[in-house]
Structure 1
Amino acid sequence: MKFTLAWLKSHLDTQASLDEIAAKLTAIGLEVEGITDPAAVFAPFVVAEVKKAEPHPNADKLRVCEVFTGKETFQVVCGAPNARAGMKGVFAPVGSTVPGINLLLKAATIRGVASNGMLCSEREMGLTDEHTGIIDLAPETPVGAPFASVMGLDDPTIEIKLTPNRGDCLGVRGIARDLAAAGLGKLKPLDIVAVPGSFKSPVAVRRDFSAEDDKACAIFVGRLVKGVKNGPSPAWLQQRLKAIGLRPISVLVDITNFFTYDLGRPLHVFDAAKVKGDIVARLAKSGEKLLALDGREYTLDDTMTVIADDAGPEGIGGVMGGEHSGCSEATTEVFIECAWFDPVRTATTGRKLGIHSDARHRFERTVDPGFVRPAMELATRMVLDLCGGEASDVIVAGTEPDWQRSIALRPTRLQGLVGFDLPVDRQVAILESLGFTVTKTGDSLSVAPPSWRPDIDGEADLVEEIARLHGFDAIPSVPLPVAGAVPAPALSLSQRRVRQARRALAARGLVEAVTYSFIKRAEAEAFGGGQDGLILVNPISADLDAMRPSVLPGLIAAARRNMDRGTADVALFEVGPQYASAEAGGQALVASGLRRGQTGPRHWRERPRAVDAYDAKADAMAALAAAGVAVDTLMVMDGAPDWYHPGRSGTLRLGPKTVLAAFGELHPRSLQAMDIKGPLVGFEVFLDRVPLPRAAKGGGGRAKPALKLSDLQAVERDFAFIVEAGVAAETLIKAVRGADKALIARVAVFDVFAGQGIPEGHKSIALSVRLEPQQQTLTDAEIEAVGQKVVAAAAKACGASLRG
């Protein structure tokens, strides 16, 4: 929002300086974005008289001028055809910067003649594009006078940034009202005097809306003025519009632009001679077209408000008028429109058509509904004063929107919401200075906002107004309490586990992917989902209509896209939610991944192999280990979901019931549903099921196992056991590990064999057992004793015997 200082003072009686006004505007929430003072730009330029203008001795088109500034005389070489003795123009001295061409003037010699300064054209001064000659001022213009003051260009322009709720400050009067309430002057009253009508308007106005659309144009006030003379606006009006970047067009159009910025009240004027029949406010008919004032043709629909006559739409309500009924220099009869349009419908219409006009900008923020009729009287008076003519009676269709409301305010809420308190009388005085009506009712106040403040909706809004006018700098600074010397972690343990699992999977060579949380229903059904409660009512795409029951389908689809582009070896993972039901607790946080193809690139030293279920198991165990699970204690069991191959999959469990992960080769039926060729192996780690560690003794942190390091010599012994073919290696490992928990640190399988030398229905499992002493180096006898314990434990648990 732009305005000039003189424009502001036409509404505000104040002695405050420009700096004081700018500071107060920002303090009350009307942030000043910039101040442009043209007087500073034009400071070096003065009115000068050309005493002599003689031909240049070495150039036919140049003149050597003797220029007097009231104090000094300068010789200037000038090429303007209108340079002559006795004229008065604008002189730019050496050292000044000519604003229109951004030229720093220096003393020069032109065709052998010295030139000290410049006589400027309008383009060189940045005023217009006119450059056929230098500025020719009136003979009575005083020599030596500052150019800015002579041309009325010494009025600073202020630009403020408004929040969307402050539509009342999209007019200079609203800004002046706020400054007056802040104690920076007195608001001048508007001289609203009804203009008597001398005849009945030949153009009638009516509204044609259904009951549900009645707010589209709640009230329409019109008036015809005949005998007007349209032409250029007076200088003061043109200067104000130019100062804020508007181009003067004609006096009738300039009046509407002036009201838009002066009072925040958009108007529209029709050339009454071009109106066919009566004016009707209605909704557009789908497909109707309108050639608007911006020169573009718009196609309308039945949600848009139009102002029409018998020939069709003549304007888009609250947005822009039509070119057909626009005013021109030939206009002698004008019909003035002053209406109130629905903010929501206006905003929607503007967005659909791509129009952002000054009118839309104000109507969509709600124009003062109580100022429709007074604005018509003011507009009529201005038209009569500047254009002459005779006004008809006022025509009114509809009624003023119901804006009256009352809000209860507890004076004690000021302390609770902003941190300081004020006497009740002071709170009442601030609200009344803003135009609110305040009535005391017991311990609270009943506050009625004025018509120009539709943004005031509740008690907190009233508190904000009081705090804003009293000063936000009055809010005390209160330090935050210091909870302790060491700050609490920014992330919870569960959040840290997610990061750790993600890092561990990436370290294993998997690439992180981010896929949609919704997939095709057919794909969801292949992975145990697709229930009605997980189907989207309004999906972003017809083939993304179901919440994913597993993260794997999205990763499989990503792998398929990579395969289609020639990448056969794929390793992807994702950490994100999956959905078992629409009820509370139906969402789980899962780290999932998949592999396809070979384990590594082709290399002369190592032959790649196809990925298998054990790779998926290793990935799952790495993620669990990063999440803080002691993977050595996990049970490997079957029972993986149906989308895994039943003979090439398993689960990792903490006890027989708590499933922490599922892994294995994906079922061919699942791959067929996803339209991808296998084999693929995958895993799902359920991070939500990982139990939190018990609190450390004394409260506070979490218990961590003690770090045990020993500088004693470790011992490794190998054992080969013959067991029945159905015995799982995991069962044998756990039995051997439990033989001596104090000394046995690690047990690992290094060979499995079945065949010659092994009884039918049996197999050989070879284990490497690492012994780590804590107190003293182990003797041969102690090592032998541990070996006997190992053999005994294996025999007891699995019926194992040492292989001969």
Structure 2
Amino acid sequence: MKFTLSWLKDHLETDATLDQIVEKLTALGLEVEGVEDRSKELKPFRVAHVVSAEKHPDADKLRVLVVDTGTEKLQVVCGAPNARAGLKGVFAPEGAYIPGSDITLKKGVIRGVESNGMMCSERELKLSEEHNGIIELPEDAPVGVAYADYAGLGDPVIDISLTPDRADCAGVRGIARDLAAAGLGRLKPLAAEPVKGAFASPFGVTIEAPDACPMYVGRYFRGVKNGPSPKWLHDKLVAIGLRPISALVDITNFITFDLSRPLHAFDADKVKGGIVVRLAREGETLAALNGKEYPLDPGMTVIADHERAEALGGIIGGEASGCTETTVNVFLEAAIFDTVRTAQTGRKLGIESDARYRLERGVDPAAVVSGIERATRLILEICGGEASDLVIAGEEPQWRRTLTLRPGRVAALGGVEVPRDEQTRILIDLGCEIVGEDVDGTLRVVPPSWRADIHGEADLVEEVLRIHGFDAIPATPLPRESVLTRPALSTKQRRVGLAKRTLAVRGLSEAVTWSFMAGPVAELFGGVGEGLTLVNPISADLDVMRPSILGNLIQAAGRNADRGYADAGLFEVGPAFRKPSPDGQDIVAAGIRAGNAVPRHWAEKARGVDAFDAKADAMAVLEAAGAPVTNLQVTTDAPGWYHPGRSGVLRLGPTVMARFGEIHPTVLGTLGVKGPVVGFEVFLDVIPLPKKKGGTARPLVQLSPFQPLERDFAFVVGKDVEADKLIRAAKGADKALVKDVTVFDVYQGANLEEGKKSVALSVTLQPTERTLTEPEIEAIGQKIVAAVAKATGGSLRS
């Protein structure tokens, strides 16, 4: 948002210096991006008079000018088509820096003719992109005067950065109001006298889509003369980087920046029958004022006449009904458009406009009529003609709401004591209305119509603190429970780093994706609960909080595959969301592998990734994070985005520690990703913290001097019995001696009963006190057989 210092003073009566204003703006939360003083940059440039213009002796397109600069007459060679005797323009002397061309002038010889300085175009002075000719000034322009002073460019331009909630400060009036409330001057009253109509408008207005446009106000003007804007208006627009077009268009642009009240002017003679606010029709197009034609769809708001669409509501006007120098009858529009629909339309069509910038943030719903009234006075003053009665369709949206403010909450929430009278003064200066006071001193406050961002007591507290000064809040150190040094990171926080390091060591690449995803993608991963849909998403396809990280990683792998990198291994450690509350957010270490687990090689057979690769990744993360991996159970109830027969859940009792498996083919097909793809999700928050027993020292390593020995067992069990049950039963048979159990063979087929399978286990025994005897080994074997039989119903295969 740009504005000049003099423009600000049209609304603010102040003696403050530019530096004081800039400092206060930043303190108020209106961050100053920069201050541009064109008078310094354009100091060498002077208004000059072309005394004579003769054809160059050796070039048909060049002229040899004699230029009166006010102090001397110089010879200048110029190639501009409009260079002629009698013209007044802008002269740059030798040694001047030309900002639009990034050159410093030197005396030169052009085709054998000496040239001293140059006559400048608007682009060379960075006034606009116009460069087809040199600047032409009015005949009464004073020769020798600094051009910056003559053109009003000596006025500093302030550029501020606005947050999306401060739509009121997208107009100079709103900025002045904040500064006045902060004690930097007095807000001048705004003339609001209505203009009495001289006739009834020949145009009516019909709103067919009240949800898209709840209120539309129009006014018909007849007999206007549309020409160049007066100097004061021209200079204001040029100073902030806008190109003056014509008086009618310039007035609408001025009101947009002055009051944050976008307007649009139609050439009434090009509008057929009247105004209809409706949704676009299938196949409808609009040739816009920017020279482009846009395809429309039924979700877009259009301003139409009785034959066709004439403008995109709140975004841009149409070329067919645009005002030109021949316009004599005008229909002026001021309306309120749905903010979400305006933003979606602008994003879809890629149109950035000053009107869209304000209307998608929410303009003052109570200023529709007053905005068009101010524009009416300017049109009648500058363009003449007569104005009709107002045409009002719809009604002003309900914006009044009563909030409460307990004065003590300013100190409780903000940490600074602000006297009650000062709180009241600040709120009133900001436009709030104090409508009452309760017995306990609670104030009842109605925020102004232009502050749609104030919704509760905390917002009122913030406004008081903002105007009182954030720098007045005392710096208070955090309480310290002890002078002893504490670890910078807790055990849970360290797990994030450990998980990342572990997965990186295993060959996965870390990815950083959005915490959002498209709603249809979220449905593939369980969907989102109420409150997790974004009100103002950064993109139309990132409209919900992600319930799982896997969706983003799978899509990233798909994009890699589209570019020739089919084998991918990605991981991310971050939040996944179940509900809109602090306890509804899980910190998850998730990863995927796609394509081949082993690339093609002459010495090794290639294979695709499978569920066991994902399980190994999950187990590695759990072990690094301190989970008791030896006590984990594997179940087959993984959620629906995993393949039902090639996935699993790692549990510690009833607690789900991790999920892993092959991604369901339907999910991959919907996302347009070619399989196989496997993934895992480890829930770092649920891993139990280690128990401290007598300090933090690690226990002594117990090494045995005796040789371990292995024994093999083959059990016949039901085909639905998981191998994990056999392993856990064998380990529990004698925890002191059984150190490891692995499966080395699974057999189903001949010589076994229907519905049975054979699972072969290799059991490692590790004696610690003495070498085991054969009877002792036999006794341990019998314990293992008995334990497996009890846990699974299996028997030793003969």
Change (3 A) 1:180 1:112: same
588-597 or 35-44: which moved more?
Answer: 588-597
Residue of 446, 458, 461 corresponding to 2:459: 461
Q: Quote the residue 1:760 is aligned against.
A: none
Q: Quote the residue 1:205 is aligned against.
A: 204
Residue of 390, 409, 412 corresponding to 2:408: 412
Map 1:330-479 onto structure 2 (within 5 A).
330-438=326-434, 439-442=436-439, 443-479=441-477
Q: Quote the residue 1:486 is aligned against.
A: 485
CA distances 1:488-524 after superposition (whole Å, capped 9, x unpaired): 463536973x876886787688999999xxxxxxxxx
Q: Is the 8 A contact 1:578 1:590 kept in 2?
A: no
Change (3 A) 1:95 1:406: same
Q: Quote the residue 1:28 is aligned against.
A: 28
Residue of 760, 773, 777 corresponding to 1:794: 777
> Displacement of 1:288 after TM fit?
4.1
> Displacement of 1:149 after TM fit?
0.8
Residue of 259, 262, 272 corresponding to 1:263: 259
Q: Is the 8 A contact 1:242 1:248 kept in 2?
A: yes
Q: Is the 8 A contact 1:320 1:357 kept in 2?
A: yes
Map 1:424-573 onto structure 2 (within 5 A).
424-438=420-434, 439-442=436-439, 443-484=441-482, 485-488=484-487, 490-492=489-491, 496=495
C-alpha separation in 1, matches of 2:230 and 2:140: 21
> Displacement of 1:326 after TM fit?
2.5
Q: Is the 8 A contact 1:95 1:105 kept in 2?
A: yes
1:267 aligned partner, one-letter code: L
2:361 aligned partner, one-letter code: R
Change (3 A) 1:706 1:434: same
C-alpha separation in 2, matches of 1:571 and 1:120: 59
Change (3 A) 1:424 1:101: same
Q: Is the 8 A contact 2:731 2:739 kept in 1?
A: no
CA distances 1:255-286 after superposition (whole Å, capped 9, x unpaired): 11111111111222222223332333344444
Q: Quote the residue 2:42 is aligned against.
A: 42
Q: Quote the residue 1:158 is aligned against.
A: 158
Map 1:216-365 onto structure 2 (within 5 A).
216-365=212-361
> Displacement of 1:162 after TM fit?
0.9
> Displacement of 1:622 after TM fit?
7.3
Q: Is the 8 A contact 2:337 2:359 kept in 1?
A: yes
2:474 aligned partner, one-letter code: P
Q: Is the 8 A contact 2:89 2:134 kept in 1?
A: no
C-alpha separation in 2, matches of 1:445 and 1:246: 44
C-alpha separation in 1, matches of 2:393 and 2:659: 73
C-alpha separation in 2, matches of 1:612 and 1:66: 83
C-alpha separation in 1, matches of 2:682 and 2:587: 7
CA distances 1:737-785 after superposition (whole Å, capped 9, x unpaired): 958xxxxx98999x99xxxxxxxxxxxx999998889xxxxxxxxxxxx
> Displacement of 1:354 after TM fit?
3.8
Q: Quote the residue 1:141 is aligned against.
A: 142
C-alpha separation in 2, matches of 1:650 and 1:53: 89
Q: CA RMSD in A?
A: 6.1
C-alpha separation in 2, matches of 1:122 and 1:684: 61
> Displacement of 1:40 after TM fit?
0.8
C-alpha separation in 1, matches of 2:45 and 2:148: 8
C-alpha separation in 2, matches of 1:573 and 1:83: 66
Identity %: 47
> Displacement of 1:230 after TM fit?
1.5
CA distances 1:438-459 after superposition (whole Å, capped 9, x unpaired): 1333311111112222222111
TM-score by length of structure 1 reads 0.69
> Displacement of 1:38 after TM fit?
1.0
Map 1:603-614 onto structure 2 (within 5 A).
none
CA distances 1:277-333 after superposition (whole Å, capped 9, x unpaired): 233334444444443333444444444443333324333332333333322222222
Q: Is the 8 A contact 2:626 2:687 kept in 1?
A: no
Change (3 A) 1:641 1:111: closer
19-28 or 106-115: which moved more?
Answer: 106-115
> Displacement of 1:422 after TM fit?
0.6
C-alpha separation in 2, matches of 1:86 and 1:572: 72
Q: Is the 8 A contact 2:511 2:570 kept in 1?
A: yes
Name structure 2 gaps, 5 residues minimum: 514-522, 531-545, 578-582, 639-646, 670-675, 717-725, 746-760, 784-798
Specify the SS of the correspondent of 1:214.
coil
> Displacement of 1:239 after TM fit?
1.9
Change (3 A) 1:709 1:476: same
Q: Is the 8 A contact 1:748 1:769 kept in 2?
A: no
Change (3 A) 1:377 1:107: closer
Change (3 A) 1:94 1:790: farther
Change (3 A) 1:452 1:111: closer
2:459 aligned partner, one-letter code: D
2:437 aligned partner, one-letter code: K
> Displacement of 1:399 after TM fit?
2.6
Q: Quote the residue 1:781 is aligned against.
A: none
**Residue 96, structure 1, aligned to residue 79, structure 2:** no
1:141 aligned partner, one-letter code: P
Which is higher, the Rg of structure 1 or of structure 2?
A: 1
**Residue 706, structure 1, aligned to residue 699, structure 2:** yes
> Displacement of 1:654 after TM fit?
10
1:440 aligned partner, one-letter code: E
Q: Quote the residue 1:2 is aligned against.
A: 2
C-alpha separation in 2, matches of 1:635 and 1:378: 74
Q: Is the 8 A contact 2:88 2:139 kept in 1?
A: yes
TM-score by length of structure 2 reads 0.69
Change (3 A) 1:490 1:191: same
